[in-house]
Amino acid sequence: MINFLLVALGGAVGSVLRYSVGFAVAHIWPQHLYIATVFVNIVGSFFIGCAFSWFLLRPDISALSPLLLMTGLLGGFTTFSTFSLDALRIFNEGQHMQALLYVGVSLLGGLLAAWLGMALIKFTL
């Protein structure tokens, strides 16, 4: 039961953080709200790379910690379903190149950020 509670707690915090980023971007660039999704997906990918490596290199840390941080917090923070919807909306608005750029930057940026996070932890521990 504690596993579910930790995932729920982390997910609630991650979701509020994601909403906060979207709220901030809506006030700065209301015409480019999808930037918030790109940001959270890349930042979330970086931190999940960090967390993954940290937990691999630190087996002494409780097995509950990844549930709270990776599954819960970062799962609630990142937004693949929103990413998919945003890409389709941009594409359906006739902005085909912008939609392709959005998908490319999100996917490559996320992969690069996750790799950087893993490398950072690997080389600092």
In whole numbers, what is the pLDDT of the chain averaged over residues?
94
- Percent of the chain at pLDDT > 70 equals 100
Quickly tell me which residue has 């840390």 as its tokens. Answer: 61
Q: How far is the C-alpha of 51 from the C-alpha of 45, rounded, in Å?
A: 10
Structure token digits, residue 56: 């691999």
* pLDDT 10s digits, 18-51: 999 999 999 999 888 889 999 999 999 999 999 9
Tokens matching residue 105: 């930057």
Residue 72 banded pLDDT, cuts 50, 70, 90:
very high
11 labelled binding-site residue:
no
Which has the closest alpha carbon to 14: 77, 107, 96, 97? 77
75 annotated among ligand-binding-site residues: yes
Amino acid at 113: A
Q: Write down the pTM of the prediction.
A: 0.84
Give me the long-range contacts of 90-93 (CB less than 8 A, separation at least 24): 90/34
Query: At 90, is the pLDDT very low, low, confident or very high (cuts 50, 70, 90)?
Result: very high
Give the contacts of 75 (CB within 8 A, at least 6 positions apart): 7, 10, 11, 14
